[in-house]
Amino acid sequence: MPTGAGLDSQAVRLAMVQRLVAQGLRHPGVQQAFATVERHRFVDSGLVAQAYEDTSLPIGWGQTISKPSVVARMLELLCADRPARLGRVLEIGTGCGYQAALLSHLCQEVYSMERIRSLHERARENLRPLRLPNVHLIFGDGMAGFPSGAPYAGIVAAAGGQEIPAVWLEQLAVGGRLVAPAELTPGRQSLVVVERTAHGYVRNVLEAVLFVPLKSGVA
């Protein structure tokens, strides 16, 4: 039964899940993750009243926490037709840590990379109270992926470049899946899903999206 009061209430999270289901979310594991992780703990105190609305919110340093419907869409694409719990997954762009927390309920291990040191530290502070032993935060250039943890059952990115970096594809396991935005047409980002098979890569371009640009280096 729903417990708590105010933004701590499970009922608030369940109401968000119900809205996501109405928009098409079907994966039960993704629904449960959204029902469990408290989004308001990952946004600025002045924005907590908007935490469960379907909107992106600024988190500082020119970055945003994506709106729940977009995160749900990407996680459902990552997990669709897969085992109940994915193996090792790489997240490019930790941001405030919210998606890493969701992934912790869907994967055996999460490696999450952030290129902005201040955000990396903020995510660490946000996630510390949750005590998630399967989440590993890495400060570094996500454009290079994280070969030490490869191969990955899944890779998900929260920033879009003009193309999917080849090193990400190389770090996918056979049978693995990548979900990321990419600016395949100038000025227009699309959601891209790439699956690695024994014979190569299969790419599907889906709906238009809007993410912060993918950048190299650290800051």
Per-block mean pLDDT, blocks of 10 residues, the chain (219 long): 59 96 97 97 92 95 95 98 92 98 98 98 98 98 97 97 96 98 93 98 97 94
Which residue among the candidates 9, 45, 56, 66 is catalytic per the annotation?
Answer: 66
Report the relative pairing of strands 159-160 and 107-114 from DSSP bridges: unpaired
Q: CB-side exposure of 188: number of CA atoms within 13 Å?
A: 7
Given this model, what pLDDT does residue 6 score?
67
Q: Under a CB-based contact definition with an 8 Å cutoff, are residues 168 and 147 in contact? A: no
Strand partners, 183: none
Structure tokens at 105: 């309920």
**Torsions phi, psi for 192 (to 5 deg):** -120, 135
What is the CATH code for 54-213?
Answer: 3.40.50.150
Active site residue 148: no
- CA–CA distance, 112 with 134 (Å, rounded to integer): 11
Q: CB-side exposure of 137: number of CA atoms within 13 Å?
A: 25
Is 0.75 surpassed by the pTM of this model? yes
Amino acid identity for residue 15 in this structure: A
Q: Under a CB-based contact definition with an 8 Å cutoff, are residues 207 and 190 in contact? A: yes
Given this model, what pLDDT does residue 151 score?
98
- CA–CA distance, 58 with 64 (Å, rounded to integer): 4
Given this model, what pLDDT does residue 181 score?
98
Q: Measured between alpha carbons, how far apart are the two ends of the chain, in Å?
A: 44
Q: Under a CB-based contact definition with an 8 Å cutoff, are residues 183 and 168 in contact? A: no
Give me the residue label for tokens 């600025």. 44
**Torsions phi, psi for 23 (to 5 deg):** -85, -5
The sign of the CA dihedral 188, 191, 196, 202 is negative
Given this model, what pLDDT does residue 8 score?
77
Structure tokens at 58: 């600024």
Given this model, what pLDDT does residue 54 score?
97
Based on C-alpha coordinates, what's the Rg of the chain? 16
- The domain spans of the chain are 54-213
